[in-house]
A and B are shown apart, each in its own frame.
Chain A
Amino acid sequence: MRYSSKKRAQGVILLLIGILLTVMFLFPLFITFLSSLKSNSDILLGMLELPKQWMFSNYPEAVKTANALNTILHSLIIAISTLVLTIAVGFPAAYILARKSYKFIKPVYILFMAGVMVPVHCTLTSVSEMASTLGLKNSYIFLVLLYVAFNLSQAIFLFTSYIRGLDKGLDEAAKIDGCSEMRLIWTIIFPLCKPIVATEAILVFIFGYSELIFSLILLTDQRKYTVSRAMLNFTSNYTTSYGPQFAFVIMSMIPMLVIYIVLHKQIQEGMLSGAIKG
C-alpha cells in the first residue's frame, strides 16, 4: 500500500517535471510565433501580450524584402540533392565494403572513416581557395558535392554495418540467377536496408537544410543565399521593423517542423544511430 502510493507520488513529480520541460522547450517557439503577428509598437510593448493588431502582413513583407520563400526553396533543393547523392554514392560503396574481401577494401574503408575525424572548419581556407581558383563560388553543384563528401563517412559507416548484418544467402541466390551487381544492390539489398537509409536521409537533410559556415564563405551572390544565410543578413540589415524578422524565422522552421511531425519516430531512431557511431 505504502509502496504504491510512493510510486504514484513519484509518477506525479515526473509528470510535472515533464510538463515544465515541455513548456521550456516550446515557449520560445510560441513567443516567436506570437511576435511574428505583431506590429512594431506591439512588439516593443512586451513579448507576452497578445497582439492588439494582428499583422498577418509580416509574412508577405518577409517574402518580399528578404526573398524568404526563394531562400527556403534553395535550401530545400540543396538538402534534397545532397541526400540523394549521398545515398547514390554511399550505398553501393557500402555494399562493396561490406561484402567483398579484396586487398583494397580495408584501406578504402579507413579513407572514408578519416572523414569522421576531420571537422569541416579545418578545410575552410583551402576549400575557398579551390572554389575561387576554379571560379566555382556561388555554384550549388560545388556546394552540394562538398556536403556529400562530408556526409559520406557517416553514411558509409551506417550502411556498411547494416549490410554486414544481412544474410549472405540472398546475394548468392541472386548471383546464380545471373543478376548483375548493380541490379542486386538496388533491387534486392536496398529495399532491405530501408530503415537505415531513412535514418541517414534524415540526418543528411537536417545538415543540408541548415548548414551555415560553407554557405557563408562560398555564396556571395545575394540571389543565391540559403535560408540560414538570408536570415542572418535580414536580421542584421533590416533592423527597423521586427515583425517580418520573426516571420522569416518562423517560415524557415516550417519545412523541418512538418517533416518532424510526420516522421518523428524514424527521426528519433535515426538520430540515435547517428549519435552512437563515435
Chain B
Amino acid sequence: MYKRRRTGSLLILLPGILLTIIFVIYPVIRTAILSFESWNGVANAPKHFVGISNYISVFTSPKFWLGMRNSLFFIIGGFVILMPASFLMALLVTSKVKGSGFFRTTFLIPVMLGTTAVGLMWTFMLNPQFGMVGKLAEIFRSETVPNILATPVQNTWAVVLVNEWMYAGYNMLIFAAGLVAIPEDIHDACRIDGCTGIKKLFYVTIPLCKNMFMVFSVTCITGCLKVFDIVWAMTRGGPMDSSTTPAILLYTEGFQFKLMGRSSAIAMILLILGLVISVVLNSTIFKPDENL
C-alpha cells in the first residue's frame, strides 16, 4: 500500500521533473560544455574542443566590457532613479490621498504592455524626424535635432530610463507591500512622540522596509545583468555595439556571427556572476530579518 502510494506520488511529480531536466538542467550543462568548444551552430557541423579560448576571447573583447559597462549603467539607474522613484510612488499609493487606488492601477499599466511594444513606442517618441525630441529641440531653440538612440552613452541611458518607466509601477508594488505591513501601533507611537515627515521617513519607515529594499536590490542587479528585450526592441545594441549588454552579445555572437562557443562562454559568465551576486547579497549585506 505504502509503496503503491509512493509510486503514485512519483508519477504525479514526473512530468515536472522531466520538463525541468530537459529544458533547464540539461541545457545549462550542455552550455557549459559548449563554452569550451568551437561550433558554428549548424546541426551536423563538427565541434572542436578549444579549451578556455572562448573565455579568453570574451574577456579580451572590448565589446564585452562595453556591455558590462552598460549593465552597470542599468544598475546605477536602478538604484539612483528607480529605487527612490518607486518608493515614493509606493508612499503615494499607500497614503490616504484621494484616488490612490486609481494611481496604483495606472502606474502599473506600462508593465502590462509587453516589453517589445514599450520599446517600439519609445523609439517612435525619440525618433529625430517626427518624435517628441523635435518638439523639445524647438522649445530649447536648438538648431539640430539630436538622434539620441544613435549617440553612444546617450542611447544606453535612454534605454535605461525607458526600462525604468516600464518597471516603476512593478517595483512600487514591492515597496507598497512593505509599507502596508508596518503595524498601525508604530504610526500611533510616532504621532505621540512627534516624529513626523522626513524624520519619520528616514528613522522609522525606511528601516522597517529593509526587506523590501533587499528584494529590490537582488531583482534589480540580477535583472540588469540579463536585460535583453528592451535593448533589442530599441537599438539592437547598436550602433557599433555602443548600447550593447552581455545578453545582447550572447545573442549576436551566437545567432548572428555563429560563434556558439563564445556565446555559451558569455552565458556561463552571466550565470555564475548572477549566482555569486545573489548569494553574496542574500547572505552578507542584507541579513534577512527574522521577525519580519
Contact = CB atoms under 8 A, between A and B. Distances in A.
A190 to B, nearest CB: 13
Nearest to A147: B23
Given A21-B103, A212-B115, A119 B270 contact: yes
B107 A271 contact: no
B114 A15 contact: no
Interface residues of B, number: 95
Interface of B: prevailing SS: helix
Contacts, number: 277
Given A29-B121, A149-B23, A212-B229, A90 B16 contact: yes
A127 B268 CA distance: 14
A275 B175 CA distance: 11
A249 B120 contact: yes
Interface stretch (B6-14, B58-66, B73-81, B146-154): B6-14
Interface stretch (A50-58, A161-169, A193-201, A250-258): A250-258
A101 to B, nearest CB: 10
Contacts of B109: 25-26, 29, 257, 260
Of B16, B129, B169, B270, chain A has the most CB atoms within 10 Å of the CB of: B16
Contacts of A28: 121-122, 125
Interface string A100-133: 1010100010011011011101111111111011
A32 B121 contact: yes
A122 B255 contact: no
Contacts of B267: 121-125
Given A89-B16, A122-B271, A149 B24 contact: yes
B113 A253 contact: yes
B189 interface: no
Interface residues of A, number: 91
A244 B201 CA distance: 48
Interface of B: 5-6, 8-10, 12-13, 15-17, 19-28, 30-31, 34, 41-43, 88-89, 92, 95-100, 102-117, 120-125, 129-132, 134-135, 165, 169-170, 173-174, 176-177, 215, 218-219, 222, 225-226, 228-229, 232-233, 247, 250-251, 254-255, 260, 263-264, 267-268, 270-271, 274-275, 278
11 contacts: A25-B169, A46-B135, A118-B28, A125-B30, A146-B23, A148-B19, A210-B117, A231-B120, A268-B108, A271-B111, A278-B218
Given A35-B124, A217-B251, A232-B233, 5 more contacts: A25-B165, A117-B275, A249-B121, A264-B108, A271-B173
